[in-house]
C-alpha cells in the first residue's frame, strides 16, 4: 500500500492510473464497518483508495476533535491486510491551508437530524468529501448506512453539483450484542456499553411493530420515545421517523422510511437507524 500525505504526490499518482478507482473516506480508528466498505470497494473497483483524515471542519468547538481516537499504525496494518492500493492521509494544513474560505453547504437537508444537533457538521462533511472527490477522482465512493443522514446529504450534494461519483452505501455492521460499530464505541465504559444496547433493542422493537402492521409514524414515534425514555443511562438526542432521502418527517411509514436515533451514553454520542427497504411493501 502506497501512502500519500500531499495532494501534489497523490495527483501525480492519479494521473498515471486509468483503471476504476473505489474510494473509502474515513477518519481512521478503523473497525469492521470500515473494512466492509473496503471489501465492497475491492469487489467492484480495480484500484482501492482509503483516506484517513480527522476533519476539523466537521467538529464543533465543544466536540471531541482533540480526543478523537487516532490509531494510524493499526489502521495501516488493517488496510494492508485488505489489499488497499493507496492511502491518502493528509495533515489539516494540507487540506485547509491558511486563507481557505470556500465551503460546500447543503443547507436544508444538512440541518436535519444530526445537522440540527450539530450545526455546521454537514457543511464540514460536504466540504471535505468534495475536496477528497476532487483530489482522488474516484469512480465509486463507499459510505456506511449507519451514517444515514450523512448519506442523504452527500447524495443531494452529488446530485446538485453533478459530481461524477457513484455513491454506494453498505449495511451497518454490528457487534454480536447488536451495537452498531463506531469508532466512538471505544469511549464507552462497560456500563455505558451495556446501557447503549437499548438503542438496537429499541430499533428491533420498532421493526417488530412495523412487521405487525403498525404504520402510524405518530404511534411509532411515541413508542420510540417511551422505550428510549425508560432506558437507564441514555440521554436522547433525537428519535425520528423520516424519509431517508429528504430526512423530513413522515406521517405513514413505508418503503424508504428511516427510523433514526441519536443518544448519549455518558458523554458519547451514538447513532443508529433502521431503513425500511425501498423494494418491499412490508419490512
* Residues forming the site for ligand PAF (CB under 6 A): 25-27, 55, 58, 125, 128-129, 147, 150
136 or 231, CB closer to ligand PAF? 136
CB of 75 to ligand PAF, least distance (A): 12
CB of 144 to ligand PAF, least distance (A): 7
Our answer to whether residue 34 is catalytic in this structure is: yes
Between β-strands 234-243 and 257-265, what pairing exists: parallel, antiparallel or unpaired?
A: antiparallel
147 or 192, CB closer to ligand PAF? 147
64 or 214, CB closer to ligand PAF? 64
Taking a C-beta distance cutoff of 8 angstroms, is the pair 153, 106 a contact? yes
How far is the C-alpha of 46 from the C-alpha of 176, rounded, in Å? 32
CB of 244 to ligand PAF, least distance (A): 17
CB of 213 to ligand PAF, least distance (A): 35
Contacts of 120 (CB under 8 A, 6+ apart): 57, 58, 60
Q: Which of 34, 121, 204, 225 is catalytic?
A: 34
104 or 220, CB closer to ligand PAF? 104
What residues are labeled active site?
34
Amino acid at each position: 500500500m502506497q501512502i500519500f500525505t500531499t495532494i501534489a504526490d497523490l495527483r501525480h499518482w492519479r494521473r498515471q492510473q486509468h483503471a476504476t478507482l473505489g474510494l473509502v473516506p474515513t477518519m481512521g480508528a478503523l473497525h469492521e464497518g470500515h473494512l466492509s466498505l473496503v471489501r465492497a470497494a475491492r469487489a467492484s473497483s480495480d484500484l482501492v483508495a482509503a483516506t484517513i483524515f480527522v476533519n476539523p471542519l466537521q467538529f464543533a468547538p465543544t466536540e471531541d476533535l482533540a480526543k478523537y481516537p487516532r490509531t494510524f499504525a493499526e489502521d495501516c496494518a488493517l488496510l494492508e491486510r485488505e489489499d488497499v492500493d493507496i492511502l491518502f492521509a493528509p495533515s489539516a494544513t494540507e487540506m485547509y491551508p491558511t486563507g481557505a474560505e470556500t465551503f460546500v453547504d447543503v443547507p436544508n437537508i444538512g440541518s436535519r437530524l444530526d445537522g440540527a444537533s450539530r450545526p455546521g457538521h454537514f457543511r464540514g462533511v460536504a466540504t471535505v468529501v468534495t475536496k477528497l472527490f476532487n483530489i482522488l477522482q474516484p469512480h465509486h465512493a463507499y459510505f456506511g448506512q449507519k451514517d444515514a443522514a450523512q448519506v442523504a446529504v452527500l447524495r443531494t450534494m452529488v446530485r446538485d453539483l453533478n459530481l461524477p461519483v457513484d455513491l454506494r452505501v453498505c449495511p451497518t455492521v454490528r457487534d454480536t450484542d447488536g451495537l452498531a460499530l463506531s469508532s466512538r464505541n471505544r469511549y464507552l465504559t462497560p456500563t455505558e456499553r451495556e446501557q447503549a444496547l437499548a438503542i438496537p433493542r429499541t430499533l428491533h422493537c420498532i421493526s417488530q411493530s412495523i412487521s405487525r402492521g403498525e404504520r402510524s409514524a405518530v404511534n411509532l414515534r411515541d413508542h420510540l420515545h417511551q422505550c428510549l425514555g425508560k432506558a437507564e443511562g441514555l440521554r436522547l438526542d433525537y428519535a425520528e421517523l423520516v424519509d431517508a432521502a429528504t430526512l423530513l418527517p413522515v406521517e405513514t411509514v413505508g418503503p424508504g422510511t428511516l427510523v433514526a436515533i441519536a443518544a448519549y451514553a455518558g458523554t458519547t454520542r451514538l447513532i443508529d437507524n433502521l431503513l425500511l427497504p425501498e423494494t418491499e411493501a412490508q419490512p
